[in-house]
Structure 1
Amino acid sequence: MTISTRTRLLGGLVAAGLVVALAGCASAPEESESSGAATGAAVAGFKPCMVSDAGGFDDKSFNQLGYEGLQKAAEELGVDFKAVESNSETDFAPNIDTLVNQNCTLIITVGFALAQAAGEAAKANPDIDFVSIDDPVDNDFDGKTDSPNIKPIIFDTAQAAFMAGYAASSFSEAKKVGTFGGMNFPTVSIFMDGFAQGVEYWNKEKGDNVQVVGWNRDTQDGSFTGGFDANQDAINTAQGIVDQGVDVLLPVGGPIYQSAASVIRGSGRDIALIGVDADVYETDPTVGDLLLTSIRKLIDVGVEDAVMAAGKGNFDATPFVGTLKNDGVGLAPFHDFESKVSPDLQGELDKIKAGIIDGSITVESYLNK
């Protein structure tokens, strides 16, 4: 399946009304008064499990968020869980099969790239429930999630990235901001394209001419490392963007932000970093001094809620789309940059958020085409 095919597929699912944005984002279950104690027994034999995408569970990003959501729910329910890491695409199906053979009753696949393997496994194992992060799993091209035992959890991160693009434009003195990604998956490019839309909105509102390096909205293509590892390819890609004079940089793809941070530190220039998925200021304090903000998607909350429901015998396959309206996506605080941004910026962002929610400001993504 090509990336462009799956992009159209995702958009078609939403347009067809299959993916229904919930009225409110699932909130984290309340902690019990005695720390670490389970709040309620799970159904007999419940065993939640997870397969990571490449990058591992210590990526300070979406794999880690998924793992933390699983860990917290398992602790609340008082059950054991199993998690296996994937190093490459060839690991996906074998890792899922391993969990099936270990009597897992709920299997969570973290990432767009696992959709094919997840769909096949769900069809072959109808008595096991599946949760798919970042993909609705329609490998049959029929506009429907492949099996009734799959719950998709996806995020319209373009909305939050739009706000980040506006904030980056406000902060930039060079009038150049940059972005690059791991691979041109829709779940990666949605950040980059939303970011570019936010820059365009800034330029329109302020009569400015901030440029975006690393992403072309017309071709829907840009700068990519070819993977999701913090390696020399990621360093080279980040260096290529920095060398073009940007003073804000958005890397999208798990730990590749670490390569971007090393390039920024070696540049001798004041360049702000923007994190993705988690509030990277909190997950990785070693880069906190570089972070303007982070574009968040609450994978941990989505996973925790799905595991809690399944653990109590209430698995619900209804797809969930995280948006600004239901707090499934959002922008992290400015933290150390609070005193460095314009005093008017937060108020402007609040108005933009309200406009996106009420529809007066349009943000395009594969989820609403």
Structure 2
Amino acid sequence: MTISTTKKLLGATVAVGVVFALAGCGQAPTESGGTSSAPETDSDFLPCLVSDAGGWNDKSFNQSAKEGMDAAADELGIKSLEFESANDNDYAPNLETAVSEGCSLIISVGFKLSTATVESALANPDLDYAIIDDWADNDYDGTVDAPNVKPLVFDTAQAAYLGGYAAAAWSAQSGVNKIGTFGGMQIPSVAVFMDGFQLGAEKYNEDKGATVEIFGWDSATQTGSFTGGFEANDTAKQTAQGVLDQGVDVLLPVGGPIYQSAAAAIADSGKDTVILGVDSDLAVADSSVADITLVSIMKAIDVAVHDATIAASEGTFDPAPYVGTLENEGVELSGFGAFESKLPEGLTDELAALQEQIISGDITVESPNSP
């Protein structure tokens, strides 16, 4: 059984395959296109995508965004331009280049591009913009700072709640009764996973009379273990090791490539610890960790990018914020893959019931980091 269902966002649907296409570095954009029958679109329409420093092959939100843009370009039978940022200093120049190249729609990937995106949008009011995982509200007044920027945000706490419940069930079955998490930067789009993860584990304890402990995050105080960035480096590995040293047998690394550091720390430990993926179905995106990936907490970034691109091509782009939820299938839990036959009896039915209760409002997943 899988909690994953066909994604339907913003009034359109698409099946996006897992394509690991690498873009060139920094200054030069890549192009993609196709020849399939397409919706009627402006012949001058040019969609563009700007990554954050994680790059297109991060097995996470950059890659998912690129897959969505590529799928839309193929469907429309046009070319798209994609600009890969090597570091934070590339954001503004890449956006400037996108404008100079004649881009009609510019989608930026991640909160770190927020300031540069708003500045570009204000300077180019006739262009459409969207940004992933950010409200484009840099003065924190509760409104988007430019009227032509569409936030694409996700209430990931809902899907993470299911992931936390599953993690607690797995650890309780093993007799370890300890799970953990750590993140990249402490920002809402990261902490929202950790909040949901903790709340789901607490729900398991409540329902089962269990005593599974959570390490690496305290939702009440909003404090926990973070690497300070999203690079898979020694700092990330040491941070993962610090949580593993608590004796956990399930670990949730939140922050793109840092899962690689978690996997390395687990390999060094020689223990049977499993991880949870984030954003994309990690067991599919990276086969090298499929054997330790219990399940993934996913955001349909690819579909949100696809649908925003199609709408912009048809002249129906709406800058109103989009919030992905379990109900609209903007967030979801993946299947369990090779672990399906090893799960506690009845777990998948319990998860399905919890999902329906969240959608109906009988359960409210309350995270201060939810959009």
Match of 1:141 in 2: 140
Equivalenced residues, count: 344
Match of 2:346 in 1: 344
**1:109 shift after superposition:** 0.6
Aligned residue for 2:308, secondary structure, equals helix
Give the alignment partner of residue 336 of structure 2, picking from 322, 326, 334. 334
Task: Please give the residue correspondences for 1:45-124 in structure 2 after superposition, counting only pairs within 5 Å.
Answer: 45-124=44-123
What amino acid sits opposite 1:234 in the alignment?
A
**1:79 shift after superposition:** 1.4
Task: Please give the residue correspondences for 1:1-369 in structure 2 after superposition, counting only pairs within 5 Å.
Answer: 26-29=11-14, 37-172=36-171, 173=174, 174-366=176-368
Q: Measure the CA separation in 1 of the matches of 2:359 and 2:315.
A: 33
What amino acid sits opposite 1:253 in the alignment?
G
TM-score w.r.t. length of structure 2 = 0.89
Q: Measure the CA separation in 2 of the matches of 1:94 and 1:281.
A: 34
Contact 2:279 2:300 in 1 (8 A): yes
Aligned residue for 2:13, secondary structure, equals coil
Give structure 1 stretches of 5+ with no counterpart: 1-22
Give CA-to-partner distance per residue, 1:141-169, whole Å, 9 cap, x none.
Answer: 33221222111110000000011000000
**1:237 shift after superposition:** 0.9
**1:98 shift after superposition:** 1.4
**1:44 shift after superposition:** 2.5
Give CA-to-partner distance per residue, 1:80-115, whole Å, 9 cap, x none.
Answer: 111112233222112111111111111001112211
**1:359 shift after superposition:** 1.5
Q: Measure the CA separation in 2 of the matches of 1:104 and 1:365.
A: 36
Contact 2:179 2:212 in 1 (8 A): yes
Contact 1:42 1:78 in 2 (8 A): no
TM-score w.r.t. length of structure 1 = 0.89
Q: Measure the CA separation in 2 of the matches of 1:324 and 1:30.
A: 18
Q: Measure the CA separation in 2 of the matches of 1:368 and 1:289.
A: 31
Worse-superposed segment, 305-314 or 288-297: 305-314
Give structure 2 stretches of 5+ with no counterpart: 1-7, 17-33
Cα RMSD, aligned residues only: 1.7
**1:139 shift after superposition:** 2.2
Matched residues, percent identical? Answer: 52
Worse-superposed segment, 344-353 or 79-88: 79-88
What amino acid sits opposite 1:167 in the alignment?
A
Aligned residue for 1:294, secondary structure, equals strand
Give CA-to-partner distance per residue, 1:26-72, whole Å, 9 cap, x none.
Answer: 443479xxx95242343031111111112101000000000000011
